[in-house]
């Protein structure tokens, strides 16, 4: 006897739609590529139930669909979605994994996942939760891919940071180690020598500073110097002491998706489904952070564009970015001046990639990101304000 269809989740203002039964030969353990989903337990990282919003709406159309009950908000709005694809275990009679369905047909067992998607992410790092945040990139290194050497002198780095803050940066992200593909590690002592004078000066002026590091000793020294946020490209995996340190300090943290190290990551680009795999791997890192005592509300996530991902994989990840909102954290995206732009357009020097950077960044915002990490602060702030005015959120 076929299993009964799963009970639909009542969504306020949305008319319920009965789910189709899973055909007996379809097998609820298979995803859209015929592969078994990772795990069946909604509480474990590998088995996280993921709702992928599709059919996104913005502007006046989103407002109309929301008011008429045809859609639900994405991360609190103003973007909305009317259809979904479900990935993971749904129990007997669940909808077929990966098949597009109306939002009203979501089984009631998926209520927690839907709430994480529709509710606005929590306030993070004491910063405004009702608008896009802009993070200015300040690399105090001689070998950064985009501006290596320009801010190696502390005085020049401090001046650049103050200019970014004046242009509207909410966060100044100071780093002393290049993590571009193929780069070698920088000793923590050298890293600290590069960044600590800059952090002290900028924090001393009252600005919110994050430290871009994967070394626990550098994290501690930077926090002592006035940094408020830790931004770790390894998601606290590189240094065994990092998670405990962040937990003990009680500071906000950004967990970025990466596989391996900067030297090896581009050999680790084999994925079953890039957005789903990235989401589940970040879920595993969030679980490690929470086990160490870091509150989920203190965590922002970064999909790691350009880290252990090919050009086509980066584009797919950006286009299906809403799936990361299942994790209940604010999404930070860093696409500024990245080589992805040259892969699309041909060889464009990093300093000439502003138009492409703005296009990628605004697309990420339309897909649920709420923090942009950028080199060109003034231009990004202007673009974001215009984008928000068009979409009805400005």
Catalogue the active-site residues: 338, 373
Under a CB-based contact definition with an 8 Å cutoff, are residues 178 and 233 in contact? no
User: In b/e form, how buried is each residue of 222-244, taking b as 16+ CB within 10 angstroms?
Assistant: bbebbbbbbbbbbbbbbbeebbe
- What the block records as the tokens of 26 is 């379809």
User: How do strand 133-139 and strand 171-175 relate by DSSP bridges?
Assistant: parallel
Distances (CA, A) of 173 to 87, 138, 194, 312: 35, 6, 13, 27
The DSSP letter of residue 329 is S
C-alpha 165/C-alpha 65 separation (Å) is 38
The DSSP letter of residue 320 is T
C-alpha 153/C-alpha 138 separation (Å) is 12
Under a CB-based contact definition with an 8 Å cutoff, are residues 195 and 140 in contact? yes
C-alpha 295/C-alpha 289 separation (Å) is 8
Helix residue spans in the chain (DSSP H):
59-67, 111-118, 154-166, 188-204, 216-225, 242-249, 274-292, 311-319, 339-345, 354-366, 377-391
Under a CB-based contact definition with an 8 Å cutoff, are residues 81 and 61 in contact? no
C-alpha 257/C-alpha 319 separation (Å) is 16
Q: How many CB atoms are closer than 10 A to CB 4?
A: 9
C-alpha 341/C-alpha 195 separation (Å) is 29
User: What is the DSSP track for 114-134?
Assistant: HHHHHSPPPP-TTS-SSS-EE
Distances (CA, A) of 46 to 151, 263, 353, 388: 41, 26, 37, 35
């Amino acid at each position: 006897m076929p299993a009964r269809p799963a009970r639909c989740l009542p969504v306020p203002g949305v008319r319920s739609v009965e789910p189709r039964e899973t055909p007996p030969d379809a097998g609820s353990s298979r995803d859209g590529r015929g592969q078994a989903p990772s795990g069946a337990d909604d509480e474990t990282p590998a088995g996280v139930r993921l709702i992928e919003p599709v059919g996104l709406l913005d502007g006046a159309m989103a407002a109309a669909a929301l008011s008429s009950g045809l859609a639900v908000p994405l991360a609190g709005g103003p973007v909305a979605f009317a259809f979904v694809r479900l990935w993971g275990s749904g129990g007997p009679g669940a909808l077929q994994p990966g098949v597009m369905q109306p939002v009203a047909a979501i089984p009631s067992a998926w209520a927690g996942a839907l709430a994480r998607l529709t509710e606005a992410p929590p306030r993070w790092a004491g910063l405004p939760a009702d608008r896009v945040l802009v993070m200015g990139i300040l690399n105090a290194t001689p070998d950064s891919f985009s501006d290596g050497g320009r801010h190696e002198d502390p005085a020049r780095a401090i001046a650049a940071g103050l200019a970014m803050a004046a242009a509207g940066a909410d966060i100044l992200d100071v780093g002393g180690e290049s993590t571009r593909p193929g780069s070698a590690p920088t000793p923590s002592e050298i890293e600290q020598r590069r960044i600590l004078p800059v952090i002290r000066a900028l924090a001393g002026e009252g600005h919110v500073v994050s430290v871009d590091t994967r070394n626990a000793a550098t994290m501690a020294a930077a926090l002592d110097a006035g940094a408020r946020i830790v931004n770790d490209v390894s998601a606290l995996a590189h240094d065994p002491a990092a998670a405990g340190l962040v937990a003990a300090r009680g500071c906000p943290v950004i967990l970025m998706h990466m596989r391996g190290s900067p030297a090896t990551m581009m050999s680790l680009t084999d994925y079953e489904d890039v957005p789903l795999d990235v989401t589940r791997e970040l879920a595993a890192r969030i679980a490690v952070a929470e086990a160490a005592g870091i509150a989920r509300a203190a965590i922002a996530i970064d999909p790691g564009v350009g880290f252990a991902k090919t050009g086509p994989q980066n584009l797919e990840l950006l286009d299906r970015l809403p799936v990361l909102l299942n994790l209940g954290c604010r999404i930070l995206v860093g696409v500024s001046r990245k080589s992805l732009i040259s892969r699309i357009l041909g060889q464009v020097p990093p300093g000439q990639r502003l138009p492409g950077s703005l296009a990628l960044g605004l697309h990420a915002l339309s897909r649920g990101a709420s923090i942009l990490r950028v080199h060109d602060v003034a231009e990004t702030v202007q673009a974001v304000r215009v984008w928000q005015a068009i979409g009805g959120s400005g």
